[in-house]
Structures are given as C-alpha cells and as structure tokens.
C-alpha cells in the first residue's frame, strides 16, 4: 500500500462554527509535511481528524487507495506524538514503547528487540527501566517519539511536539526528528505555529488561516514567493507598502518611485507591495525617509525607517556589506530589486507578481 495521504474537501464543524472550510491536501509518500498557522486556524483539528479523534463532517480522507473516514482510531495504524507527550505514567520507558506492539500481539521476543532498537535510535536505551516521572522533558519527548514510530505506522502525526521544550532543546530535538524521519522514511504530518521550526524541518508546508489553506509549497517557495499578504506576514517579516499599478507591469509608489515589475495579468488600481527587510536597501535614490531607530544585532543592523508618506519600514543591513551605522534622524532613500518583491491586489489580496 502506498503511504500517501490524500484529503479531499475536509469539513469540520463545531455547532455553528466551521473550523475547517473544505481543505484539500495531497501528501506524498515519505514526505515531511507541516501544517503551519496561528492558533485557531484548524491545523490541530485537521490532524486529529486524520488520527480519528475528531469526527469528519465532510470530505474524504485516503491513505493510499483506502478511504479511512469510517475506520476507528485504533485501527488506522498511525503513529502519533502528542503535544504533552501523553506518556503512560504507570509504565516504565520500555513498557511505554512496547505498548503499541503488545496491542498488535507481537511475540514478546520480537517486542524486546524492536523496543531496544527504537530506544537506541532515539539514544535513550540507558533509560529503559525508568518511570516517566524520572525523565526530563527532552527524554520524555524521545520516549513519545520511539513509541510512535516503533509500530512502523504508515503515517506519523506530530502535534506541536516541541512546544513544551526550552529554546535550545527545541532546536536540538527538531534535528533529531528530521534525521529520524529521513532515515525511517515514514510519511509525516507535523503541526506547529512556529514558522521558523516549520521552515527548518519540513519538505513541504501548508500555511493555514481560519480553516482555509493559504498556500502549499516548499519552505523556499513559501518564503520567496508568498501567494498572499497573510503568508508574507506570517512567514518571516514583511514590509507592506501601498502602491498603484498604473500601466502594464508599472508600479507606482506614492508618486515618489516608479518601478517595472512583471505581473501575471492585466490589472489597474490599488495594490500592496511586500518586501522583506533584507530585500530593502539604502540607495542614492528611491523612497525618501528618515531613520527612526536602529538596533545593532551583530551580523546585521535593523533599522526602522519612517517614509515621507508616513509608512514605517523595517530594513536589515548586513554588517559585512556596510560597516557604517546610520544616525537616528538621518535622511535616507530606500530601494529594492523589483524582481524579488511581491505585489498583491489590494482588494482580493491575490498575488499579481510572477
């Protein structure tokens, strides 16, 4: 059986509130796929529908060819890592990991071997006989991980597994997870609200908002070419500048700067130009403004600039490119590379740039 996950038009309702408004996804076999979005966007809801803990109000869920809508949770053969790990407090590490294998009535000897192997993989074989309350957060995380993949599930689900760890451990564990996933080749669906984590760990990301999917793509695609202002603002930092499309491929900003940006379709009128702080730079000509405030951050300096038209922008200048630091109040001109910024229709928020 192929281990791809196909979701067609999934709908979830809580009373009058629609938590998922017809979500469709196609997750490839062996892929590390992340559902990313702010809290309340429906990402955990969708994950729990896949796991079988939430009822499905509409749509179809396939594992490979098999429709799983009516398969009960305990028969779906999915591994899951819970946000707070959900380690069985009354069982030691070994028995926690063996739990799913025992449910599958595997012979004890084989269980012993598999558990040992799994604990080796997550590097906690020396803790096999410990009780959960004697483990640190990171160690519990490893137990939860081992317990989920030891059953060799067709799909592995992870619900914000790193959110309870401190910052340093989080970075360390995400590498552990990523390497393990590549090594085992399990199709993995990962939920997080942390965009940096999503970029670091995923093969592909689905950015979600209010029960809809805003964009699906590789981390690089999503970062470089956000398909709408929401994605541009949620992934990394973006400056949004009001502008006008005045003629074919011609964008005018407040009459102060006019640039050629190749656009998808014919459009005239109000638009939004989005540029990341590192895509903006100081120049001899461009948008006039004043330095409001600067923050020295080592490898770059972050400037807040008030444009003459009233808007405020954030600009990062790398210290390796320019060692001089502008003074507050200094007059500057801001420019950018038209090929790298994005332009959206003001009304529909649809992307115009290629």
Partner 1 sequence: MKNLTGIKFHLDFWSIVKIITIATMCLFIVYPFYTIITKSVFSTKVEGMTLYNFKRFIEKPYYYKSLFRSLFVCSCTVLTTLFIGVPVAYLMTRYNILAKKTMHILIIMSLMSPPFIGAYSWIILLGRNGLFAKLFQSIGMKAPTIYGRGGIIFVFTLHLFAYIYLYTSGAMNSIDSSLEEASENLGMNKLRRIWTVTLPVVLPSILAGCVMVFMTCLADFGTPMLLGEGYVVLPVLVYNEYMSESATDPFMASALSVVIVCCSLLMLTFQKLVIDKRNYQMSSLRPPVEIQLHGSKRFLASLPIFLVVFFASLPQIVVICQSFVERSFSGVVKGINLNNYRTIIKRLYVNIKNTYVFSFVAIVFIVVVGIFIAYILVRKKGKVANFIDMLIMFPYVIPGSVLGIGLIIAFNKKPLVLVGTAAIMIISFVIRKLPYTVRSGTAFLYQMDPFVEEASINLGVPPLKTFFTVTARMMLPGVMSGAVLSWITCINELSSSIMLYTGKTSTIAVAIYQEVVRMSDGTAAALATILTVTTIFSLLLVFRATKGKVKIV
The residues that touch partner 1, with contacts defined as CB under 8 A, are: 51-53, 55-56, 60, 67, 69-70, 72-80, 82-84, 86-90, 99-100, 103-104, 147, 151
Tokens of 231: 């994605």
- Listed in sequence order, the DSSP H helices in the chain are 43-51, 93-103, 108-121, 137-149, 167-184, 195-201, 219-224, 229-234
User: Shortest Cβ distance from residue 93 to partner 1 (Å)?
Assistant: 14
- Least CB distance from residue 71 to partner 1, whole Å? 9
Nearer to partner 1, 96 or 342 (CB): 96
Closest contact distance (angstroms) between CB of 74 and partner 1 is: 5
Q: How far is the CB of 22 from partner 1 (least distance, A)?
A: 14
User: By C-beta, is 147 or 174 nearer to partner 1?
Assistant: 147
Which residues pair with residue 169 across a beta bridge? none
Question: In the complex, what is the shortest distance from the CB of residue 151 to partner 1, in angstroms, rounded to a whole number?
Answer: 6
Select 148 or 287, whichever has its Cβ closest to partner 1: 148
Shorter beta-carbon distance to partner 1: residue 90 or 265: 90
CA torsion angle 41 47 52 53 (round to 10): -50
Q: Report the 3 state secondary structure along 76-108.
A: CCEEEECCCCCCCCCCCHHHHHHHHHHHCCCCH
Contact 336, 279 (CB under 8 A): yes
Identify which of residues 67 and 354 has a Cβ nearer to partner 1 in the complex: 67
Residues ≥6 apart with Cβ < 8 Å to 326: 282, 291, 294, 303, 332
Please report the sign of the dihedral spanned by the C-alpha atoms of residue 245, residue 249, residue 250, residue 251: positive
- The 10 Å CB-count burial string (b at 16+, else e) for 100-136 is bbeeeebeeeebeebbeebbebbebbebbeeebeebe
Which lies closer to partner 1 via its Cβ, residue 54 or residue 314?
54
Q: How far is the CB of 105 from partner 1 (least distance, A)?
A: 9
């Amino acid at each position: 059986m192929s281990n791809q996950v196909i979701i067609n038009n999934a709908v979830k309702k809580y009373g009058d509130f629609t938590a998922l408004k017809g979500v469709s996804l196609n997750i490839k076999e062996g892929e590390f796929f992340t559902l990313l979005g702010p809290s309340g966007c429906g990402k955990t809801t969708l994950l729990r529908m896949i796991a079988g803990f939430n009822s499905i109000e509409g749509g179809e869920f396939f594992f490979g060819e098999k429709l799983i809508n009516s398969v009960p949770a305990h028969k779906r053969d999915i591994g899951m890592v819970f946000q707070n790990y959900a380690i069985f407090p009354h069982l030691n590490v070994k028995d926690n990991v063996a739990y799913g294998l025992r449910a599958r009535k595997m012979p004890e000897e084989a269980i012993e071997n598999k558990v040992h192997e799994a604990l080796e993989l997550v590097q906690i074989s020396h803790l096999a006989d410990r009780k959960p309350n004697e483990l640190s957060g990171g160690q519990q995380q490893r137990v939860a991980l081992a317990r989920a993949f030891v059953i060799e599930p067709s799909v592995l689900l992870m619900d914000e597994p790193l959110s309870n760890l401190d910052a340093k451990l989080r970075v360390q564990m995400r590498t552990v997870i990523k390497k393990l996933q590549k090594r085992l080749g399990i199709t993995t669906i990962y939920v997080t609200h942390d965009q940096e984590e999503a970029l670091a760990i995923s093969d592909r990301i689905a950015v979600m908002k209010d029960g809809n999917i805003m964009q699906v793509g590789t981390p690089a695609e999503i970062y470089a070419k956000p398909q709408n202002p929401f994605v541009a603002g949620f992934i990394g930092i973006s400056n949004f500048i009001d502008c006008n499309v005045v003629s074919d491929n011609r964008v005018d900003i407040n009459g102060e700067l006019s640039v050629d940006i190749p656009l998808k379709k014919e459009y005239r009128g109000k638009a939004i130009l989005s540029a990341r702080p590192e895509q903006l730079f100081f120049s001899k000509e461009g948008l006039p403004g004043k330095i409001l405030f600067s923050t020295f951050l080592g490898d770059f300096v972050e400037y807040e600039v008030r444009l003459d038209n009233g808007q405020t922008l954030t600009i990062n200048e790398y210290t390796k490119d320019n060692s001089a630091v502008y003074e507050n109040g200094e007059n500057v001109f801001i420019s950018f590379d038209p090929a790298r910024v994005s332009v959206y229709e003001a009304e529909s928020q649809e992307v115009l740039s290629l």
